[in-house]
Structure formats: structure tokens, C-alpha cells
A = this chain, B = another copy of it.
Amino acid sequence: MKNSDVIKLAHGSGGLLTNRLMRDVVLKYFKDKTVKRLEDSAQLNIESRDIAFTTDSYVIDPIFFPGGDIGKLAICGTVNDLAMQGAIPKHISFSLIIEEGFLLKDLERIIKSASQAAMRAKVRVVCGDTKVVEKSKADKIFITTSGIGIIKIKLGKEKIRIGDKILVSGTIGDHGIAVMNQRLNLGLRANLKSDVAPLNLITNRLLPFKSSIHCMRDPTRGGVASVLNETVDGTRYGIMLREGEIPIKREVIGATDILGIDPLYVANEGKFIAFVAHNVAEKVLKKIKSHPLGKDAAIIGEVVKEPRGVWLKTKIGGVHPLLLLEAEGLPRIC
């Protein structure tokens, strides 16, 4: 390997090498007529007062996994956080912390993948930053993305009503299991692929139902069970899920069986949960299913007055609580 093939500390110095890295790798992909250099600041013209603002850091290991990589994940994750706010995602910031010695070709692969995800999601990467730290002072590469979107539907857990139907946009657990399989060398064959995808491709279609959609959440870290626990926390209602209705791939069930973990606590990166007024739930479901990313969507439960908390009605009829865990006990998967 040549010395010129790897990231050096000087790439993060703000000097000539930083400029070259921006020109030759980053701007090659994040090109936008309005962005001449990817500086740390951008000037935007935003046509609304109602703005969603979001941030997330991505530290996933491995950085490349079946179905995606840390670059695609960082774009989709922030796009999805905006979509969950009922917003149209618009502008993204992209900040890199890279370990000295990181391969330039891997960086290019990540940036290319991020830019393709941004194009697919129709968002602009408008500002960024690159820092390089010494060997073994970071785990290869960390990406922090922030996003700005225009709020089109006012959502929130306070809008949830007893009787609301709970929809999930597709099969659960795909991301976490695909990443664990690769990271832990489980050697599970089968079709284990991350679901990482920009959810605004579906949620933008749901605008006609704006008054009937009360809350949306993407079940990333901690999975469906954790995100539903956060949603009911401090409220006066409960959630009853029906195990038999939850879409999950056979391969994912097989993997979680082997690992001894509950797929309801496994991360997803291309799925969302929606709380929808019961009388239009079927229509919203049909709309979600009309997009390829939502083809496996299902109504998996409803909001109940009692019992409070999150509950699972099993296939054979038992009812069990889904608690918020101390820790998900999984490797870094988002």
C-alpha cells in the first residue's frame, strides 16, 4: 500500500491536503450547483417557519455490511429522523472523524454511497467537516449528520388517542441481524441484509392523511419494543401488540433464535411505526404498501386504555410486558 492511499493527520489540518481531500473525494460526489466547496457553513433559503432539526452520530462496526455502509446509514438515519417529525427532509450536514491510516478508497466508497442515498432521498448535503485523529484514537470512521426539514404534519405522542391503530412499514430486525451476522462472524448464510433506506419516500405520500396520522417513530437503537416504551412513557394509555401480525423474515427469526435475543429489541434502519386514527388505518396501510419499501407493512396492534405500558399478545394468546431494557446488549449497530 502506498503512503498516498491512506488518510494522514495532515488531511485534517486545514491546509493543502485538506483542500485536496475535499476536491478529489468529497466534492466529487456531493456536488450541487449551490455548493462550491463543502464548507462548515451553508446559507439556505427556507420557505417555511416550521422547521425540524435533527442530529445523530454513527459509530457502526462494521462500516460496510450487507445492504449498506456507514455513509448510507448516516444519510438515511437523519432523513428518517426528519420524516418521523412529519417533515420533508431538505438539508443535511455531514461531519467526519477519521482515524489516521484509513484507506482513501474506503472513504471514497462511503462518500459515494452517502451521496447516492442523498440523491435518492432528494436531500442536499450542504455543509460538512473533516477531522483526522491519530491511529487507534477512533474506530476507523465516525459520521455525524444533522438535518433540516420542513414540517408538513404536526406529529407527537401527545396526539395519540386510545383506539389508534399501530402500523409498521415492513419486516423488523433486518438491520441489526445483518450487522451482527457480519460483525460477530456468525456465518449465518441466508438473505440477511440491512433494511437501511430513506423513509421519506413513503412518508411524503402520507401527507393527504395528515390529520389522521398522530405520531411516527423509527425503531432504530433498541428496536420496536424500546421505541414504543419511550412513546408511552408518561402517558395515560398502553400499547397492545399482536405477535401474529408483526412482519418478520424467517431468516431473522432463525438468527434471533440462535442468538437468544428478541427481535422486538433489534435495530431497524428502514422501517417506521405510525399511530393512525382507527377509521383510516386501512387506507394508510394501503398507501404505505403501494411503495416497494412498504410492501410488507402491517397493522400490528393498537393503543389501549388499560393496561398501561407496552404489551405483546402472543400467538397462543398469552399477554406479556415488553419492558425497557437496561441495555440492548448488542454490538454497535447504528
Contacts and interface: CB of A to CB of B under 8 A. Distances in A.
A271 to B, nearest CB: 15
Interface stretch (A7-15, A194-202, A253-261, A285-293): A7-15
A93 B139 contact: no
A55 B40 contact: yes
Interface of A: 8-10, 13-17, 19, 40-47, 49-59, 81-82, 84-85, 91, 93-97, 126-129, 131, 133-134, 136-139, 142, 144, 146, 148, 151, 220-222, 226, 324-330, 332
B93 A43 contact: no
Contacts of A146: 53, 55, 93, 95, 144, 146
Q: Kindly name the residue among A52, A129, A330 whose own CB sees the greatest number of chain B CB atoms within 10 A.
A: A129
Contacts of A126: 53
A55 B226 contact: no
A227 to B, nearest CB: 8
A54 B42 CA distance: 6
A160 to B, nearest CB: 16
A91 B53 contact: yes
B41 A52 contact: yes
5 contacts: A8-B327, A13-B330, A41-B52, A57-B129, A144-B146
Given A13-B328, A139-B137, A226-B14, A56 B129 contact: yes
Contacts of A95: 55-57, 144, 146
Contact of A326 (B16, B47, B54, B226): B16
A127 B46 contact: no
B327 A15 contact: yes
A105 B85 CA distance: 33
Complex copy number for this chain: 2
A51 B90 CA distance: 13
A95 B95 CA distance: 11
A226 B15 contact: yes
A41 to B, nearest CB: 4
Contact of A332 (B82, B127, B133): B133
Contact of A10 (B91, B94, B138, B327): B327
A97 B57 contact: yes
A122 to B, nearest CB: 17
Contacts of A222: 13-15
Contacts of A49: 45-47
Q: Kindly name the residue among A40, A45, A91, A93 whose own CB sees the greatest number of chain B CB atoms within 10 A.
A: A40
Nearest to A41: B54
Contact of A139 (B58, B133, B151, B329): B133
Contacts of A128: 55
Contacts of A44: 50-53
B47 A43 contact: no
Contacts of A127: 53-55
Q: Kindly name the residue among A46, A54, A128, A326 whose own CB sees the greatest number of chain B CB atoms within 10 A.
A: A54
Given A42-B52, A44-B50, 12 more contacts: A17-B327, A43-B51, A45-B50, A45-B51, A46-B46, A46-B49, A53-B127, A55-B94, A57-B129, A131-B332, A133-B139, A144-B144
